[in-house]
Amino acid sequence: MRSSFRSGRHLALGAGLLGLLFSTAACDKVGGGDFAKTKSGIEYKIFKKVGSKYERRDISGDADPTYKDRVGKFLTAYIDTRTGKDSVLESTRTKFQGALVPLPLQEVKRKGTPEEAFALLMPGDSAVFRFNADSLFKPQGPQPPRPVPPFLKKSGNVVVLHVATRGLIDQAAAMTMQQDLQQKMMAEQQRQMMAFAGEQLKKDDAALQAYAKSKNLTGLKKTPSGIYYTVTTPGAGPLAKQGQTVTMKYTGMLLDGKVFDSSDKHPGEPFSFPLGQGRVIPGWDEAVALLNKGSKATFLIPSTLAYGQQGAGADIPANSPLRFDVELVDVK
Mean pLDDT per segment of 10 residues, for the chain of length 332 residues? Answer: 36 24 35 78 90 81 76 94 92 88 89 90 93 83 78 92 95 92 80 78 94 94 95 94 94 96 85 92 95 96 91 90 96 92
Q: Note the pLDDT of residue 46.
A: 93
Catalytic residue, candidates 260, 285, 299, 301: 260
Please give the DSSP secondary-structure letter assigned to residue 144. Answer: P
Domains defined along the chain, listed by start: 2-13+202-331 (3.10.50.40), 31-169 (3.10.50.40)
Catalytic residue, candidates 74, 196, 271, 307: 307
Annotated catalytic residue 307: yes
Annotated catalytic residue 261: yes
Q: Note the pLDDT of residue 29.
A: 42
Catalytic residue, candidates 79, 227, 281, 316: 281
Annotated catalytic residue 169: no
Q: Write out 77-124 in H/E/C secondary structure.
A: EEEEEEECCCCEEEEHHHHCCCCCEEEECCCCCCCCCHHHHHCCCCCC
Q: Note the pLDDT of residue 63.
A: 65
Decide: helix, strand or coil at residue 300.
strand
Catalytic residue, candidates 261, 285, 299, 301: 261
Residues in contact with 33: Cβ distance below 8 Å, sequence separation at least 6, in sequence order: 45, 56
* 66 C-beta neighbours (distance < 10 Å), count: 8
Catalytic residue, candidates 5, 196, 271, 324: 324
What distance in Å separates the CA atoms of residue 152 and residue 304, rounded to the nearest whole number?
33
Amino acid identity for residue 304 in this structure: T
**Could you give the C-alpha distances from 297 to 34, 65, 88, 233, in angstroms and in order?**
71, 76, 50, 7
Query: Which pTM was predicted?
Result: 0.53
Annotated catalytic residue 59: no
Annotated catalytic residue 211: no
Exposure class string for 238-262: b at 16+ Cβ within 10 A, else e: eebeeebebbbebbbeebeeeebbb
What distance in Å separates the CA atoms of residue 57 and residue 177, rounded to the nearest whole number?
29
Catalytic residue, candidates 129, 250, 271, 299: 250
Annotated catalytic residue 330: no
